[in-house]
Amino acid sequence: MVTTIGVADFNIKQNDTSPFKRVMLTGADEANNPLNLTGAAVKYIMRPQAAGSTVKVNAAAVIISATTPVTVEYRWVAADTDTIGWFIDEWQVTFAGGEVETFPNTRHGSVLVHDDLAD
């Protein structure tokens, strides 16, 4: 079953590569220290909203700021936005020590690729 999401977290037109998707990640470690991505790697993952759909994007993201406010960005390529519709997304962080954490961890983000009127 597909549930229609009312408002997308991020909107982009079909075949566009701008604006980039930029978000701030929040969290803390076991000692309640703020999230720190120094030495980490981040992947951006996006797939159609329908359960069981094939992943559309699984690519490296850019860490804009490794410390507070922790900010990451994904820079689209044309193939990422060539299909209109609703998508869900997440950010997968692999910390320097090898631990993996996904953001947000309580839900998915949402992306809406709108129909482009131009060829």
Decide yes or no: CATH 2.60.40.3350 for domain 10-114.
Answer: yes
112 half-sphere exposure, CB direction, 13 A CA radius: 10
Quickly tell me which residue has 């909107």 as its tokens.
11
Residue ranges of the domains in the chain?
10-114
β-pairing, 10-13 vs 109-114, is parallel
Instruction: Encode pLDDT of 52-82 as tens digits.
Output: 899 999 999 999 999 999 999 999 999 999 9
Question: Can you tell me the distance from the alpha carbon of 37 to that of 94, in angstroms, rounded to the nearest whole number?
Answer: 9
Instruction: Encode pLDDT of 75-108 as tens digits.
Output: 999 999 999 999 999 999 999 999 999 999 999 9
pTM of the predicted protein model = 0.90
Helix (H, G, I), strand (E, B) or coil at 49: coil
